[in-house]
Chains A and B, each alone.
Chain A
Amino acid sequence: MKNLITRTGNHEIAKEGEFKYVIKKNESKGMIVPVTIYADENLVSKMALDRTIDQAANVATLRGVMKHVVVLPDGHEGYGFPVGGVAGMDLEEGVISPGGVGYDINCGVRLIRTNLREKEIRPKIRDLVNQLFHAIPSGVGSSSPRKVTGSEMDELLVEGVRWTVNNGYGWDSDIDVCEENGCMKGADPVHVSELARKRGSLQLGTLGSGNHFLEVQKVDKIFDEEAARAMEIEEDQITVLIHCGSRGFGHQVCSDYLKISEKKIRDSGMKIVDRELACVPNNSDEGESYRKAMYSALNFAWSNRQMITHWTRNTFEKVMGMTEDEVDMKLVYDVSHNIAKVERHAVDGEGTRDLVIHRKGATRAFPAGDSHIPDKYRKIGQPVFIPGSMGTASWILLGNTKSLELSFGSTAHGAGRTMSRSAARRNYTTDSVRKNLELKGVYIKALSREGMVEETPEAYKDVDSVVEVSHSLGIATKVARLVPIGVIKG
C-alpha cells in the first residue's frame, strides 16, 4: 500500500506495521507530537476519506499535548476532535477541551448478565422488548417518570451511582463494577448552569435517541474461558447491553463550556487551528470550572444507566415470572466512552507523569493488576465492551498490557459510522431495515422511523474488524462475542 494523503492533502499517512499508521510530527504545520492510527488497510482508507485524520493532526497542535495523538480503529470525524481519538495533555501546561470529550459526556455502555438461556427468552422476546420499551423512556427529549428535585440533583451530581443505589434503584454490588465506582470525585454542581439542571431533572433513567439503545443479546462464542468465568458469562446465555449517556444535561454542559472556551480563546489571543478545538488552559479558572461541571455530568450519566438497569431488571422479572434471585441480573461492568480525567502514564524518555487524558469515543482498557480495576477483575484485566450497530455483534474484550504502551490505556468504543445519517435515510426504508433484522432473528421496537433507518447496520463499519485490530495489537483482547435478539431504540 502506498502512503495515503489525508482529505485536505495536508498530511501524509505512513504505514509502520500491519495495524499501525503514523503521521510524523510536522512543526511547519504546528504539530507538537505525531499521530498514531491503529487500523487495518480498509479502516484507515475510510478514515482518509473524511476529516478524521486531519482532525487528529489538528489535536496534535494543542498546547501541552504529549507523546502522540491516537486514532483507534473505529475512528471517524467528530466535533473538533475525531471520535475514536485519545489525547493526553500535560496537567500543568496543557489544555482541557469540551470538544475533546464531546457533547454526550460519559456516553458509555454497561453489560448485565442473566441466568437465562435463549430457549427461555425466544418465545417471550416480543413481549419482553415491548415491555422494556414501555418501562424505559426513549427518544429525543423523552422524560422520566422520576422527576429529580433540586436538592436531589445536587446529591446525585456529587455522589453518582451511590445516590441512585441508596434511593433503591439497584444493588450495592453495582457500585463496585463501574469505572470510578460510578462516582467521579471532584464534581461540583455549582459550576453547572440552571438550564442544564432543568434539562437533567426530567431525564434521569431515559435512553435518548441517536445511536443509543438497549439490546437483549445471547452469548454467541467464548474466546477467553478464564475471563468469561470471572465475568460469569457462558455460551448461549442471555445478556443485556445498555448504551446511553448524560442526555440533555451533558449536552448543555458541553454547549455552555464551548461558549466559555471560545470567549477565552478570543480574549487571550491563543491560536488554534480549528475553531471547534476550543479549549482552555487546564489550570485556569475556566478549566477548573469545566472539569467540575463535566465530572457532574459523568456522575449524571452513570446514574442514568443505573436507573435504566433497575427498570430493566424489574421488567425481566415481571415478563419471565421469576424472582430477582432467579434471574440474577448482575452488572458485569460499566465503561465510559466520552471522558477526560487525570491519569498517570509513561511518556517517552520521561518516566510517568500526570496527564489529562481525553477519550472521545474511546474506552479505557487497563491491564491486569491496575489499582483502578475492581478486585473482582484485577487478576484478569478490565472488561471492555464494544457495541456493534443494531443487528450486528457486540464484543466483550479485556484490557491488556499493550494498551498502556500504545494508546494511553485505551481501545475502540464501537463500530464507527461509515455513512451519514442523511445518506442512510436516502438509501434505506423502515420496512427494509425491519425485515433485514427480522431475517437475522432480531425483534426491534423503535420510537421513530428515522431512529431505525439512520442506525441501519449498513451505516456502520464492520465491528468484527475493529475488534480484530485491537486484539491483534494486544490493546484489548477477545473474551466473548454477543449477538442481538431484541433491541429498543429512541
Chain B
Amino acid sequence: MKQLKEKAAMIEKIKQDETKTNMAKIDDREILLKYLYDRGDEVLQLAELQYPVQTRVIVKRIVDLIKSREIDSLISGGELLAIFRSVGLRIRVDTNIRIDDHGKFISFGEKLKEGI
C-alpha cells in the first residue's frame, strides 16, 4: 500500500514537471528516466551500451506511449528488461543470487559454504 502511494506521488510529480516545462523540448531518454524505478536506470544504461541503435528506437517508442498516456505507470528494471527481451534483445545484467535465510539475505556462495 505504501509503495502504491509512493508510486502515485511520483507520477503526480512527473505530471507537474511536464506541465511546468510545457512546450520545452525534453530528450526522450530524460523523460523515460523519470518513469524508471527499481534498477530501471541500470537496465537502460546496459541496453544503451550493448544495443545502442536499437535502444534509441525502443526508448522513443516507449516515450511515445508515455506521451499518449498508454503507459501511465512507472516501469521497473524487470519490466524494461522484459520489453527488450520481447523484441529479441538479450541485455546482459549483472545479477546476484541472494537467499532469504531465517529473515536474513545471504549470498548464494555463503549458503553453499553453510551446506558444507
Interface residues of A (CB under 8 A from B): 135, 145-147, 166-169, 310-311, 314
Contact call A314/B90, Cβ cutoff below 8 A: no
B52 within 8 A of A: yes
| Per-residue A-contact encoding for B44-62, CB less than 8 Å = 1, 0 else | 0010011111001000000
Cα-based distance from A145 to B94 in the complex (angstroms)? 10
Contact call B52/A168, Cβ cutoff below 8 A: yes
By beta carbon, the residue of chain B nearest A314 is: B49
* Chain B residues with CB under 8 A of A167: 51-53
Does more than half of chain B's interface fall in helix, strand or loop, or is it mixed?
Answer: helix
Contact call B46/A168, Cβ cutoff below 8 A: no
By beta carbon, the residue of chain B nearest A205 is: B50
13 contacts between A and B (CB under 8 A): A135-B49, A145-B49, A145-B50, A145-B91, A146-B50, A166-B53, A168-B52, A168-B53, A168-B56, A310-B49, A310-B52, A311-B49, A314-B49
Q: Which 8 A-B pairs have the closest CB atoms?
A: A168-B52, A145-B92, A168-B53, A146-B50, A145-B50, A167-B53, A314-B49, A147-B90
Interface residues of B (CB under 8 A from A): 46, 49-53, 56, 90-92
* Chain B residues with CB under 8 A of A146: 50-51
Cα-based distance from A147 to B90 in the complex (angstroms)? 8
Contact call B46/A169, Cβ cutoff below 8 A: no
Cα-based distance from A169 to B54 in the complex (angstroms)? 12
* Chain A residues with CB under 8 A of B90: 147
* Chain B residues with CB under 8 A of A310: 49, 52
By beta carbon, the residue of chain B nearest A145 is: B92
Cα-based distance from A310 to B50 in the complex (angstroms)? 10
* Chain B residues with CB under 8 A of A311: 49
Contact call A169/B92, Cβ cutoff below 8 A: no
Q: Which of B52, B56, B91 contacts A169 (CB 8 A)?
A: B52
Cα-based distance from A168 to B50 in the complex (angstroms)? 9
* Chain B residues with CB under 8 A of A147: 90
Cα-based distance from A311 to B50 in the complex (angstroms)? 9
Residue among A135, A145, A166, A311 with the highest chain B CB neighbour number at 10 A:
A145
Does more than half of chain A's interface fall in helix, strand or loop, or is it mixed?
Answer: loop
* Chain B residues with CB under 8 A of A166: 53
* Chain A residues with CB under 8 A of B51: 146, 167-168
By beta carbon, the residue of chain A nearest B94 is: A134
* Chain B residues with CB under 8 A of A145: 46, 49-50, 91-92
Cα-based distance from A135 to B48 in the complex (angstroms)? 13
Q: A54 → chain B, closest Cβ, in Å? A: 47
Q: B2 → chain A, closest Cβ, in Å? A: 33
By beta carbon, the residue of chain A nearest B46 is: A145
* Chain B residues with CB under 8 A of A135: 49
Residue among A167, A168, A169 with the highest chain B CB neighbour number at 10 A:
A168
Q: A67 → chain B, closest Cβ, in Å? A: 47
* Chain A residues with CB under 8 A of B91: 145
Cα-based distance from A314 to B46 in the complex (angstroms)? 11
* Chain A residues with CB under 8 A of B46: 145
By beta carbon, the residue of chain A nearest B56 is: A168
Cα-based distance from A325 to B107 in the complex (angstroms)? 41
* Chain B residues with CB under 8 A of A314: 49
Q: A427 → chain B, closest Cβ, in Å? A: 34
Q: A120 → chain B, closest Cβ, in Å? A: 23
Cα-based distance from A488 to B91 in the complex (angstroms)? 24
* Chain A residues with CB under 8 A of B53: 166-168
Q: A145-B50, A168-B53, A310-B49 are in contact. List 8 more A-B contacts (CB 8 A).
A: A145-B46, A145-B49, A145-B92, A146-B50, A166-B53, A167-B51, A168-B56, A314-B49
Cα-based distance from A314 to B47 in the complex (angstroms)? 13
Q: A107 → chain B, closest Cβ, in Å? A: 25
Cα-based distance from A237 to B34 in the complex (angstroms)? 38
By beta carbon, the residue of chain A nearest B92 is: A145
* Chain A residues with CB under 8 A of B49: 135, 145, 310-311, 314
Q: B43 → chain A, closest Cβ, in Å? A: 12
Cα-based distance from A146 to B84 in the complex (angstroms)? 13
By beta carbon, the residue of chain A nearest B53 is: A168
* Chain A residues with CB under 8 A of B50: 145-146
Q: B75 → chain A, closest Cβ, in Å? A: 21
By beta carbon, the residue of chain B nearest A168 is: B52
Cα-based distance from A451 to B20 in the complex (angstroms)? 56
By beta carbon, the residue of chain A nearest B90 is: A147
* Chain B residues with CB under 8 A of A168: 51-53, 56
Q: A165 → chain B, closest Cβ, in Å? A: 10
Q: A84 → chain B, closest Cβ, in Å? A: 37
By beta carbon, the residue of chain A nearest B55 is: A168
Q: A82 → chain B, closest Cβ, in Å? A: 40
* Chain A residues with CB under 8 A of B92: 145
Q: A197 → chain B, closest Cβ, in Å? A: 18
Cα-based distance from A100 to B94 in the complex (angstroms)? 41
By beta carbon, the residue of chain B nearest A315 is: B49
Cα-based distance from A168 to B49 in the complex (angstroms)? 9
Q: B46 → chain A, closest Cβ, in Å? A: 7
Cα-based distance from A47 to B92 in the complex (angstroms)? 46
Cα-based distance from A314 to B53 in the complex (angstroms)? 15
By beta carbon, the residue of chain B nearest A311 is: B49
Q: A159 → chain B, closest Cβ, in Å? A: 14
Cα-based distance from A419 to B70 in the complex (angstroms)? 66
Cα-based distance from A166 to B56 in the complex (angstroms)? 13
